[in-house]
Copies of this chain bind each other. A is one copy, B any other.
Amino acid sequence: MADFLTLYSPATVANMVCGFDVLGFALEAPYDTMHMRLTDEPGVQIVHEDDFHLPTEPARNVAGAALLALLKAAPAGTGFEVRINKAILPGSGIGSSAASAAGAVVGANKLLGGFFSPEELVRFAMFGEEVASGAQHADNIAPAIYGGVTLIRSTDPLDIVPLSAPPLHATVVHPQIEIRTADARQILKQEVPLKSAIRQWANVGGLVAGLLQADYQLIGRSLEDVVVEPVRSILIPGFAAVKSCSLEAGALGGGISGSGPSIFMLSETEATAQAVATAMRTVYEKLGVDFRIHVSTINPVGVRFKH
C-alpha cells in the first residue's frame, strides 16, 4: 500500500463584510488534519478519525463528493483513501465543509503529481459544498485552496482573483449556538434598495483597494455591510456588543463569518487581535453563552502539507 500524505486544511471566512458572497480569506487556525493515500481499488473510501458522525458514503460526504467529481477527470482506475480528523466544528460558519472538500482535492492532486490546476480543484471542491449546503459556492473553497484573500468575481464561469494583503490578524469568536442555514437564508431580503447596493459596492471597491494598497485605515473604513449584516446579525446573540467592544479595543472592523454564528474582526497587530479576543470573551461570559475564540493571521498559502 502507498504511504499516507498528511495535510492541514484551514478554516476560512466567507462573506467578508461588504463582500457578501464574493470575498473570503483563509485562517492559519483552526484547521482539519487529513491523511490520504492512493489505493489499488478505484473510487473513494472515507474514514472519520473524529467524533462528528459525518456520513462516510462518498456521495453524501463533502470530501467524498469533491473527490468523486475529481475522479471523473482523473486517470481511470484511480482510488483514494481519506482519513479525516476535523478540528473545525461543523456549523461554526468558518468553512468546515470547505476545509474537507478543499483538503481532499488538494491532497488528491498532490498524490496525482499536480495533474490539475487550482481553478479545476476549486470546481471539484464546489461539488463538496453542494453536498453540505445544497449550493455550489466558492467563497470558502477558493481561499482554502489559493490562500490569502480571494475575490470570486463570478462562479459561472469561475473567475477567482487572489488579492495581496498586508499583514492582518483575525480574531474569530464562535458562540456555541446553532443557526440553521435555512433560517440564515430565508431571512435575507431578495431585493435591496439601490442606495444600499451602491454603498455596498463603494465599500467593496474600498476594501479591495485597501488590501492591494496595504492601507489599513481604508480597509477599516470599508469594512461596512449595509445589506446583509443588519438583517442576519439579529440571529447572533451579542453581535452588536461584540462589534462595538472590538472596535473600541482597536479592531479595524469585521462582521459575521459566513452565515454565522461566528463573528470575525481584523486588526493590524497581534496585540490588538488579542485585546479584541479579551473583549469578545467578556461579552459572552456576561451572556452565559459558551464560545471558542481563535486568533490567527491570514494564511497566505491555503492547504499545507506535512513535510
Contacts and interface: CB of A to CB of B under 8 A. Distances in A.
B200 A190 contact: no
Contacts of A195: 190
B159 A22 contact: no
Nearest to A199: B154
A54 B208 CA distance: 41
Size bin of chain A's contact surface: 35 or more
Given A192-B192, A201-B200, A212-B213, A206 B153 contact: yes
B206 A151 contact: yes
B204 A194 contact: no
Q: How many subunits of this chain does the assembly comprise?
A: 2
A229 interface: no
B151 A227 contact: no
Interface stretch (A13-21, A64-72, A107-115, A251-259): A13-21
A197 B188 CA distance: 13
A203 interface: yes
A153 B208 CA distance: 11
Interface string A197-230: 1111111111111001100001001100001000
A227 B197 contact: yes
B154 A202 contact: yes
Interface of A: 18-23, 151-154, 159, 161, 163, 188-195, 197-209, 212-213, 218, 221-222, 227
